[in-house]
A and B are shown apart, each in its own frame.
Chain A
Amino acid sequence: MDVPTLNLTILTKDVFVVLIILSATFLALFSWLSIGKTRLLNRLVKTPLAPFILIIAILFFVLAIGTLISTLTVWIIPLHSLIQT
């Protein structure tokens, strides 16, 4: 009877992929919450820099969402099609 062997390279890669997807998800979530928090803080402290900080927060959110979508496209969608076949 064949005993299945554990391929460490594949295992390491899988762990990396899971970590990357989790990081992308957390970053997207945190950057979204940061927009709300920045808006609240800009109301509390009114300075000339407020619009720029808000723009940076929005930019982070856009980049984080873009990265999350790319991550899902690169790793999850091929996995899904692999399962279907």
Chain B
Amino acid sequence: MNPFSSFVYDPVKITSVHFETQRENEVVRLVLRRDTITNLPWILTTLAAILIPLLIIKTLPQLPDFISGPHITNMFSPKEWQLAGFLYVITIFYFAFVNFSNWFYNVLFVTNLRVVDINYRAPFHSQTTQAQLKEVQDVRYTQGGLFGIAFNYGNLFVQTAGTKQNIQLTRIPNPNIVQERIVQLLP
């Protein structure tokens, strides 16, 4: 299994991914994440944050003196500029790391016994929700918006019985197929 997959289904058993509270007789059959394409905004932001300062540095000597000139460049010594630049680069990569973690650790597992939703909101908040398969009453999805239709992603809702918290996963790939697979796994 590709560890970066956002939709993995095996009607028998997925062996490469496990979770903390998994029981001995429990096998993972479906693994879901947000669609990979939804990572595009932060990837583009990261690239822009890397490229824009490079463009500014390149065009700085060509700007008229009253805008740039020696005022900005001479404000710090080369060593100080180097340090500030290094800090900026680390900050960008940290931003990318946090966004990647936000995507990677937001997972929904469907096993032979239950549905487990690991919900991580970067940088520090995480929440785990679970429901037994026999408690699942309804599985439905919504799909809309320009990008949702173009890239075939949507939101999935797993409704459980009683007062238990419902499970919701946004922007998952192929929501119609996912709904079908979850319904097949229900007892």
Contact = CB atoms under 8 A, between A and B. Distances in A.
Shortest 10 CB-CB distances between A and B: which pairs?
A46-B18, A49-B3, A41-B105, A44-B20, A13-B75, A67-B87, A43-B20, A47-B3, A63-B90, A47-B17
Interface residues of A, number: 34
Contacts of B123: 30, 33-34, 37
A37 B124 contact: yes
Contacts of A27: 87, 90-91, 94
A30 B79 CA distance: 25
B3 A23 contact: no
Interface of A: 9, 12-13, 16, 20, 23-24, 27, 30-31, 33-34, 37-38, 40-41, 43-49, 53, 56-57, 60, 63-64, 67, 70-71, 74-75
Contacts of B90: 27, 60, 63-64, 67
B107 interface: yes
B126 A40 contact: yes
A24 B87 contact: yes
A66 to B, nearest CB: 9
Given A9-B75, A20-B87, A45 B118 contact: yes
Contacts of B16: 47-48
B97 A70 contact: no
Contact of A44 (B87, B94, B105): B105
Contacts of A48: 3, 16
A74 B3 contact: no
Interface of B: 3, 16-20, 71, 75-76, 79-80, 83-84, 86-87, 90-91, 93-94, 97-98, 101, 104-105, 107, 118, 120, 123-124, 126, 128
Given A27-B94, A34-B101, A67-B83, 15 more contacts: A12-B75, A13-B76, A16-B76, A24-B87, A38-B101, A44-B19, A44-B20, A45-B17, A46-B20, A47-B3, A53-B104, A60-B93, A60-B94, A64-B90, A67-B87
A63 B107 CA distance: 29
A12 B72 CA distance: 10
Contacts of A64: 90, 94
Nearest to A21: B87
A67 B86 contact: yes
